[in-house]
Amino acid sequence: MRRVMASAPAEEAPVVPEAQARPKLRTEFAFELPRGYVDDAGNVHHSGVMRLATARDELVPLRDDRVRENSAFLTVVLLARVITRIGDVTDVHAGVIENLFASDLAFLQDMYRRINSEGHTRAGVGCPECGHEFVVDVAGGRLGES
């Protein structure tokens, strides 16, 4: 004789509208360079946009002869692929990245790491005087601007 076990009715999962289920993916991040890119005409450009990197963005530079000769050039080629604009400059290429001030290059390297591994541009900081801890957006506005 075969026994059939009755099962409790399955609870239906609540229906969540698609817009609420997952926040929209942010793929572009605005930034403000600490010093600014100086173009050939002497104009200084501070604001820009960096997009999320794809696997292709990280693989293609490895075939670049400049990177093969000098691995330090990888950063330059990679940033040139993911930065879509610096000020009025929309043709961002390795030559543009090479002419950034070292502090701006370091800023962009850190931003690249943050948005591609952590998914945001926020950083926790602490006041050296009072020890108060707070969060800042490293891509945020220039000093003194809100």
Whole-number pLDDT of residue 106: 97
Whole-number pLDDT of residue 33: 97
Q: b/e string for 129-138 if b means 16 or more Cβ within 10 A?
A: eeeeeeeeeb
- Residue 48 burial class via C-beta count within 10 angstroms: exposed 0-12, middle 13-18, buried 19 and up: buried
Reply yes or no on whether the pLDDT at 118 is more than 50: yes
Specify the 3-state DSSP secondary structure of 93: coil
Q: For residue 50, which phi and psi values (nearest 5 degrees)?
A: -120, 135
Reply yes or no on whether the pLDDT at 142 is more than 50: no
Whole-number pLDDT of residue 23: 74
Note the helical H segments in 7-61. 18-21, 55-59
What is the biggest distance separating any 2 CA atoms in the chain, rounded to whole angstroms?
A: 92
CA-closest candidate to residue 106, choices 23, 33, 15: 33
Report the pLDDT averaged over residues 96-122: 90
The tens digit of pLDDT for each residue in 50-98 reads 999 999 999 999 999 999 999 999 999 999 999 999 999 999 999 999 9
Q: Which residue has better confidence, 64 or 9?
A: 64
pTM above 0.75, yes or no: no
